[in-house]
Amino acid sequence: MQLQQLRYFLAVAETGHFTRAAEATHVAQPSLSQQIRSLERELGAELFHRSRAGTVLTDAGQALLPLARRILADTESARQAVQETVQLRRGRVRFGAPPSLCTSLVPDVLRVFRARYAGVDLQLREGGSRDLRQGLEAGELDLALVIAPAAGEPAGLAVTALLHEELVLVSAGPLPRRRARIEDLREQPLVMFREGYDLRETTLAACRAAGFEPRWAVEGGEMDAVLASVRAGLGPAVLPGMVAARSGLTVAPFAAPGLGRTIALAHGREVPLSRAAAEFRATLLAHVAEAARAGALPPGSRLLPAAG
């Protein structure tokens, strides 16, 4: 059974006449009649009572009529859905990012993408880089911003390094010097993120490399809780430059060689990106590059060659 046969059948049923149905469907009447006879042979039943006055549906034709209408309507709906997806009037992007980037870089990218593609469903997942990588490998995410590890990336991921971001020391009050030193973290308890945060691991590694274990004023917080604790005067914290720039807190970059991290954009290698996900990736890369050209990145942050 072919869709065109159902279209011809529906035209004859609605006009009550083979000639008028052929005119309505822009096909020669012999061709239309041949297609209807082929459909009847396939179904094993006559669909029309034919006479000089016109045609009327048989019982079999009456049974087929609502089904044919439904099949053709579903086909048109499918065609429209595919076209809307191709033209990005609809679709879905499942995107992940660490909480520190969800409060700095990500909102602006989401705003730009939403203004261009209002019909695309955006799903955002906050999480640590380890969890986001697992989500990509499991097919639960299309794209994710992650903090590049010191070791290699999993073989199943394609990763583009975007930015080197400076980490800074922030405090509600004055800091002892304009450029902080790792040794300064020995002298006072810190406000520290929960386990699983890349910032926690980076801070711990820097302190241990300097020969000491840091003390906590409070630990276990998410980004908003850490910022609130610092503002309340509980202690300083190590934050990304992009977050610190918007925090209203006192900021001191670390003295050379400094403290930083690499932000990368990752997606699975095995499954090609959907049109919507590919456009989101292009939007993010263009936004980061434009921010770098405009000098809108925080001091100490720089665009990496792979993203330029």
Distance between CA atoms of residues 147 and 183, nearest Å: 24
| Ranges in the chain annotated CATH 3.40.190.290 | 90-308
Quote the pLDDT of residue 151.
63
Quote the pLDDT of residue 155.
77
Does the structure show a pLDDT above 80 at 6?
A: yes
Q: Are 238 and 167 in contact (CB under 8 A)?
A: yes
Quote the pLDDT of residue 254.
94
Q: What's the pLDDT band for 227 if we cut at 50, 70, 90? A: very high
pLDDT, one tens digit per residue, over 104-122 is: 889 999 999 999 998 899 9
Segment 43-68 shows an average pLDDT of 91
Percent of the chain with pLDDT over 70: 96
Quote the pLDDT of residue 307.
66
E-strand stretches of the chain:
48-51, 54-57, 91-97, 120-126, 143-147, 157-171, 190-193, 216-221, 237-240, 250-253, 260-268, 302-303
pLDDT, one tens digit per residue, over 147-176 is: 987 666 777 899 999 999 999 999 999 988
Q: Are 108 and 245 in contact (CB under 8 A)?
A: no
Does the structure show a pLDDT above 90 at 180?
A: yes
pLDDT, one tens digit per residue, over 210-225 is: 999 999 999 988 889 9
- Name which of 207, 209, 211 is nearest 199 in CA terms: 207
Does the structure show a pLDDT above 80 at 83?
A: no
Tokens, residue 148: 């590049």
Interstrand relation of 120-126 and 216-221 (parallel, antiparallel or unpaired) = unpaired
Query: In CATH, what class is 90-308?
Result: alpha beta
Output the average pLDDT for the chain.
Answer: 90
Does the structure show a pLDDT above 90 at 144?
A: yes
Backbone φ and ψ for 45, nearest 5 degrees, come out as -160, 145
Distance between CA atoms of residues 131 and 133, nearest Å: 5
Domain 3-86, second-level architecture: Orthogonal Bundle (1.10)
Q: What's the pLDDT band for 39 if we cut at 50, 70, 90? A: very high
Q: Are 246 and 115 in contact (CB under 8 A)?
A: no
pTM for this model (two decimals): 0.70
Report long-range pairs for 292-295 (Cβ below 8 Å, ≥24 apart). Answer: none
Interstrand relation of 216-221 and 190-193 (parallel, antiparallel or unpaired) = parallel
Q: What's the pLDDT band for 146 if we cut at 50, 70, 90? A: very high
Distance between CA atoms of residues 143 and 146, nearest Å: 10
Segment 61-77 shows an average pLDDT of 90
Distance between CA atoms of residues 100 and 194, nearest Å: 13
- Name which of 219, 170, 167, 214 is nearest 192 in CA terms: 219
Segment 5-29 shows an average pLDDT of 92
